[in-house]
Amino acid sequence: MGTVAVKIKVMPDSPETDIKEVEGKVREILKKVESGSPQTEIQPIAFGLKALIVLFGWPEEKELEELEGKLKKIKGVGSVEVIDMRRAIG
């Protein structure tokens, strides 16, 4: 099986949420379930709200639902959405 490149958008539940803190927690979770270092980008949305965009490699045979569930449980996260997924290696 191959690896897929996954890009997710993590939206905070309010503009007051510390997006850097959320980013750190997302990195911790990803470090436990996948190898490599995810690429992150903070993207302004509107009215002070910023989204965290995360790009990482994921084994093609593994489902993403469990990971999404863990990310949604982070304090301050309003939603998690897969915005792109494509085969990267294999």
* Predicted local confidence at residue 37, as pLDDT: 83
pLDDT in tens, 48-88: 899 999 999 888 888 899 999 999 999 999 999 999 999 87
Could you tell me the residue ranges of all domains in the chain? 3-89
Q: What is the CA radius of gyration of the chain?
A: 13
- CATH class in words for 3-89: alpha beta
Q: Which residues of 77-90 are buried (b: 16+ CB within 10 A; e: fewer)?
A: beebeeeeeeeeee
* Predicted local confidence at residue 19, as pLDDT: 96
Q: What is the pTM of this model?
A: 0.90
Mean pLDDT of 27-37: 83
